């Protein structure tokens, strides 16, 4: 019986460490998202300033950079938004259900969300592989862009983990906003 309790405590310790690691990853991705938005602002401002009459030379590749950073900022913000339950939800009918009904609907919706984001992970990786095989590059700067769908797929995989954490711990927020 002592071995059983030792295993259970080891499992709980590992589970807690996994939750902390997931939380740290979500925070790191939120920082990347914020830095991406900041970089978008800086590139856009530089492009506007360089287009003024007295300089008259646009920021070459600004469109490519902003497009890539926009995709990164959106993708890396998804896990944090999911963790703080910041998505828009219409709960009028949800609150009309009894407790058991709410738990069932919430669990089914979380499972469907996990399936959707797992599918998006898979398709993003395949899309990135297609970009890699075809040598896809950005329009102006000719930067390889195969890695962008990989990052999007990774972010979707983290969303699956976050939703799974919320499914296992339905009464607790993973991260306080």
Instruction: Answer yes or no: is 20 within a domain.
Output: yes
- Low-confidence spans in the chain with pLDDT less than 50: 1
Residue 175 lies in a domain: no
Average pLDDT taken over every residue of the chain: 89
Eight-state DSSP code of residue 175 = S
* Domain span including residue 40: 2-168
The number of domains in the chain is: 1
12: in domain: yes
Q: Given this model, what pLDDT does residue 8 score?
A: 66
Cβ-contact 132, 146 below 8 angstroms = yes
Tens digits of residue pLDDT in 20-69: 899 999 999 999 999 999 999 999 999 998 888 778 888 899 999 999 99
Rounded to whole angstroms, how far apart are CA atoms 13 and 22?
14
**177 domain-assigned:** no
- 176 within some domain: no
Burial label for 159, CB within 10 Å (0-12, 13-18, 19+), is buried
Residue 118 domain-assigned (yes or no): yes
- The answer to whether residue 6 sits within a structural domain is yes
Q: Could you tell me the pTM of the whole model?
A: 0.86
Would you say residue 25 lies in a domain? yes
């Amino acid at each position: 019986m002592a071995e059983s309790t030792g295993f259970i405590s080891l499992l709980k310790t590992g589970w807690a460490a996994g939750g902390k690691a997931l939380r740290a990853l979500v925070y790191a991705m939120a920082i990347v998202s914020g830095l991406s938005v900041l970089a978008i602002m800086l590139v856009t401002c530089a492009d506007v300033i360089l287009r003024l009459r007295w300089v008259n030379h646009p920021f070459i590749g600004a469109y490519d950079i902003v497009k890539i950073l926009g995709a990164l900022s959106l993708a890396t913000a998804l896990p944090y938004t999911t963790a703080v339950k910041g998505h828009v939800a219409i709960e009028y009918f949800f609150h009309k259900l009894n407790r058991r009904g709410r738990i069932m609907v919430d669990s089914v919706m979380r499972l469907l969300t996990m399936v959707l984001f797992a599918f998006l992970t898979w398709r993003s990786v395949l899309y990135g592989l297609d970009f890699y095989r075809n040598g896809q590059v950005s329009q102006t700067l000719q930067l390889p862009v195969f890695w962008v769908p990989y990052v999007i797929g990774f972010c979707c995989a983290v969303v699956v983990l976050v939703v799974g954490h919320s499914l296992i711990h339905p009464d607790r927020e993973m991260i306080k906003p």
